[in-house]
Amino acid sequence: MDQEELYQEHILDHYEDPFHRGTLEAATHAHQEKNPLCGDVVRIELELDAQGKICDLYFTGEGCVISQASASMLLEQMHGKTIDDLKQFSADDMLQLYGPRLTPNRQKCCLLSWKVLQSVVHSPVDGAS
Amino acid sequence: MSALEKNAPQKSDLLPESLRDDFPILSGDVLDGHPLVFLDNAASTQRPRQVIDAICRVYERDYSNVHRGIHTLSERSTEQYEQAREKVRALIGAEHVEEIVFTQGTTASINLVAQSWGGANLKPGDEILLTAMEHHSNLVPWQQIASKTGAVLRHVPITETGLLDIATLDQLLGPRTRLVALTSVSNTLGTINPISTIAAQAHAVGALVLVDAAQSVPHQPTNVRTMGADFMAFSGHKMLGPSGIGVLYGKRELLDAMPPFMGGGSMIQEVGLESFTPAALPAKFEAGTPPIVPAIAMSAAIDYLSGIGLDAIHRHQQALVKRAYQGLSQITGLRILGPAPEHRAGLVSFAFEKIHAHEFAQVLNDQFGVAVRAGHHCTQPLHATLGITASTRASFYLYNRLADIDRLLEGVAAVQAKFAPQGRRRKARGG
Ligand SMILES: Cc1ncc(COP(=O)(O)O)c(C=O)c1O
Residue in B179, B171, B170 with CA at minimum distance from that of residue B123:
B179
**Integer Rg of chain B from CA:** 23
CATH number at residue B127: 3.40.640.10
**CB distance B427–A10 less than 8 Å?**
yes
Residue A106 with chain B: CB contacts under 8 Å: 358, 362
3-state secondary structure B105-148: CHHHHHHHHHHHHHHHHCCCCCEEEEECCCCHHHCHHHHHHHHH
Query: How far is residue B85's CA from residue A82's CA, in Å, rounded to a whole number?
Result: 65
Considering the candidates B52, B378, B413, B414, report the single residue annotated as catalytic: B378
Range B96-105 average pLDDT: 98
3-class SS of residue B189: coil
* A129 found inside a domain: no
Q: Are residues B65 and B207 in the same domain?
A: yes
pLDDT level of residue B430 (50, 70, 90 thresholds) = low
Judge whether B378 counts as a catalytic residue. yes
Residue A1's pLDDT is: 42
- Among A17, A39, A40, the residue with its CB nearest the CB of B424 is A17
Q: Above 60 in pLDDT, residue B261?
A: yes
pTM for the whole thing? 0.93
Q: What is the pLDDT of residue A3?
A: 55
Structural domain count, chain A = 1
CA distance A42 to B145: 33
Pocket residues: Cβ below 6 A from ligand 1: B 42, 105-107, 135, 137-138, 183, 187, 212, 214-215, 235, 246, 378
Write the CB contacts of B156 (distance below 8 Å, at least 6 apart in sequence). B129, B130, B131, B132, B164, B165, B166, B168, B169, B172, B182
- Residue B329 CB partners (closer than 8 Å, separation 6+): B336
Residue pair B125/B305 in contact by the 8 Å Cβ criterion? no
Nearest to A65 by CA among B214, B418, B215: B418
Can you give the CATH number for the domain in which A33 is found? 3.90.1010.10
| Closest C-alpha among B42, B65, B16 to residue B349 | B42
Nearest chain A Cα distance for residue B307, angstroms:
36
Nearest by CB to residue A1, choosing from B32, B375, B421, is B32
Residues B259 and B111 in one domain: yes
Q: Of residues B7 and B193, which shows the higher confidence score? A: B193
Q: Are residues B322 and B354 in the same domain?
A: yes
What is the distance between the alpha carbons of residues B373 and B354, in angstroms, rounded to a whole number? 18
Q: The domain containing residue B23 runs over which residues?
A: 3-35+310-419
CATH number at residue B352: 3.90.1150.10
* Chain A environment of B419 (Cβ under 8 Å): 7, 12, 65
Residue A16 maps to a domain? yes
* Residue B380 touches chain A, beta carbons under 8 Å: yes
Span B96-109, average pLDDT: 98
> Is residue B136 within 8 angstroms of chain A, CB to CB?
no
Position A39 in a domain: yes
Q: Which residues of B200-210 are buried (b: 16+ CB within 10 A; e: fewer)?
A: ebbeebebbbb
Distance of CA B330 to the CA centre of its chain: 29
CA B98–ligand 1 middle distance (angstroms)? 23
Residue of A nearest to B365 (CA): A1
Return the pLDDT at A39. Answer: 78
Residue B316 reports pLDDT greater than 90? yes
- Which tens digits make up the pLDDT trace of A31-77? 999 987 777 899 999 999 999 999 999 999 999 999 999 999 999 99
Residue B89 placed within a domain: yes
Say if residue B213 is in the same domain as residue B361: no
Output the pLDDT for position B431: 43
**Boundary (domain end) residue, out of B255, B275, B307:** B307
Q: Identify whether residues B87 and B215 lie together within a single domain.
A: yes
Q: Is the pLDDT of residue A98 over 60?
A: yes
Instruction: Tell me the residue range of the domain where A77 lies.
Output: 3-120
**For chain B, what is the domain count?**
2
pLDDT range class, residue A25, cuts 50, 70, 90 = very high
Q: Is residue A12 part of a domain?
A: yes
- How do B231-235 and B246-250 pair as beta strands? antiparallel
Residues B319 and B178 in one domain: no
Average pLDDT in chain A = 92
A126 within some domain: no
Residue B248's pLDDT is: 98
Under DSSP, the state recorded for B266 is T
Average pLDDT across chain B, whole number: 94
Last residue of a domain, one of B290, B307, B324: B307
Using CA atoms, how far apart are residues B304 and B316, in angstroms rounded to an integer? 16
The pLDDT value given to residue B387 = 92
